[in-house]
C-alpha cells in the first residue's frame, strides 16, 4: 500500500502501476481498478471499479461500480451501482441502484432504487417508495411523512419566516443559469421569475423554480459540482409549493419567483 499526500503523488504512482493507496489529508479522485484507504479527514471520489476503506472522519463519493467500507465517523454518497458496508457511526446517502450493508450504529438515507440490509442498531431513512430494505430485529426504518403546507414544512425544516419571506438555496451552472433548461438566469440583481409556473401542478419536477432547504441539499442534487455556483435566495412563502407525503426529493420546493441574497463557494459545502 502506497501512502500519498496529494493528487499529483497519487497520479504519478498510478501511472507507475500502483493500485493500492493510503490517502492522507487531501481530496483524491480514484478511477479504474484502484484501491485506497482514507485517513485523517481525507476526501475521495471513486469511479469505475475502484475501492476504498474510509477511516477517521473521511468522506467519499462512490460512482459506477465502486465499493467502500466505512468505519468510525466516515461518510459516503453512493450512486450508480456502487456498494458500501457501513460500520461504527458511519453515515451514507444512497442514490439510484446503489446498495449498502449497515452494522452497529451506522445510519443511511435511501433514495431511488437503492437497497440496504440493516443489522445491529443501524437506522435508515426511507425517502423513496422504490427502496428495498431487509432489517434485523433491532434495526430501525424511518419513513417520513412531510406536510403539504409551506408553514408547517418550514417548521419541520427549521426555516424562519420573516416578513412572509424564507431563505432557500440554489445551485446553477458556471454562467448562472439553471441546470435543467439553461435558460433561467440566477446571476442577476433582478427578481427571478419562473416562465412556465403552474400554481396547482403536483409533480416534483417542472413548472417552477426548484429551490433547496439547505446549501448541502442544493449541492447534493446539482449536475456538475466542479463548476457549479451556490446561491442563497429569498422567496415569498405564498409563492412556494412543497410536496407532502413521501416525496422523492423532500429537500426541495417549487417557487414562482425569488431573488438572490448572496453567492457562496461550492467548496464551502463539500
Q: Which of 107, 142, 177 is the last residue of a domain?
A: 142
Which residues span the domain enclosing 239? 150-268
Q: Which of 142, 172, 191 is the last residue of a domain?
A: 142
Residue given cell 440554489 in the structure block = 170
Phi/psi at 31 (5° precision): -140, 175
10-14, 97-101, 134-138, 251-255: range with lowest mean pLDDT = 10-14
For residue 124, the Cα-to-chain-centroid distance in whole angstroms is: 15
pLDDT digits (tens, 9 = 90+) for 193-234: 999 999 999 898 899 999 999 998 898 778 787 789 999 999
| pLDDT top residue among 148 and 11 | 148
Same domain, 74 and 112: yes
pTM, rounded to two decimals: 0.71
Q: Number of structural domains, the chain? A: 2
Largest Cα–Cα distance of the chain, in whole Å? Answer: 61
pLDDT given for residue 39 in this prediction: 75
137: pLDDT strictly greater than 90: yes
pLDDT given for residue 213 in this prediction: 95
pLDDT digits (tens, 9 = 90+) for 88-130: 888 888 887 888 999 889 999 888 789 899 999 999 999 877 8
141: pLDDT strictly greater than 80: yes
Integer Cα distance of 118 and 106 in angstroms: 9
Same domain, 7 and 95: yes
Same domain, 129 and 160: no
Q: Which of 111, 142, 173 is the last residue of a domain?
A: 142
| pLDDT top residue among 68 and 150 | 150
Amino acid at each position: 500500500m502506497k501512502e500519498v499526500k496529494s493528487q499529483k503523488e497519487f497520479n504519478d504512482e498510478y501511472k507507475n502501476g500502483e493500485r493500492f493507496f493510503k490517502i492522507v489529508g487531501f481530496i483524491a479522485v480514484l478511477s479504474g481498478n484502484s484501491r485506497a484507504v482514507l485517513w485523517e479527514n481525507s476526501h475521495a471520489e471513486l469511479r469505475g471499479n475502484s475501492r476504498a476503506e474510509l477511516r477517521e472522519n473521511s468522506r467519499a463519493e462512490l460512482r459506477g461500480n465502486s465499493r467502500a467500507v466505512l468505519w468510525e465517523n466516515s461518510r459516503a454518497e453512493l450512486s450508480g451501482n456502487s456498494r458500501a458496508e457501513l460500520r461504527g457511526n458511519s453515515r451514507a446517502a444512497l442514490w439510484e441502484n446503489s446498495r449498502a450493508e449497515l452494522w452497529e450504529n451506522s445510519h443511511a438515507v435511501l433514495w431511488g432504487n437503492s437497497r440496504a440490509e440493516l443489522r445491529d442498531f443501524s437506522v435508515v431513512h426511507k425517502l423513496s417508495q422504490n427502496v428495498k430494505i431487509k432489517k434485523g430485529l433491532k434495526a430501525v426504518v424511518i419513513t417520513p411523512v412531510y406536510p403539504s403546507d409551506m408553514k408547517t414544512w418550514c417548521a419541520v425544516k427549521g426555516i424562519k419566516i420573516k416578513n412572509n419571506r424564507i431563505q432557500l438555496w440554489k445551485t446553477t451552472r458556471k454562467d448562472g443559469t439553471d441546470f435543467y433548461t439553461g435558460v433561467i438566469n440566477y446571476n442577476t440583481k433582478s427578481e427571478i421569475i419562473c416562465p412556465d409556473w403552474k400554481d396547482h401542478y403536483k409533480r416534483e419536477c417542472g413548472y417552477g423554480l426548484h429551490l433547496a432547504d439547505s446549501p448541502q441539499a442544493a449541492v447534493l442534487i446539482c449536475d456538475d459540482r466542479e463548476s457549479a455556483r451556490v446561491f442563497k435566495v429569498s422567496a415569498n412563502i405564498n409563492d412556494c409549493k412543497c410536496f407532502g407525503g413521501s416525496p422523492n426529493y423532500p429537500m426541495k420546493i417549487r417557487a414562482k419567483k425569488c431573488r438572490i441574497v448572496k453567492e457562496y463557494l461550492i467548496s464551502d459545502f463539500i
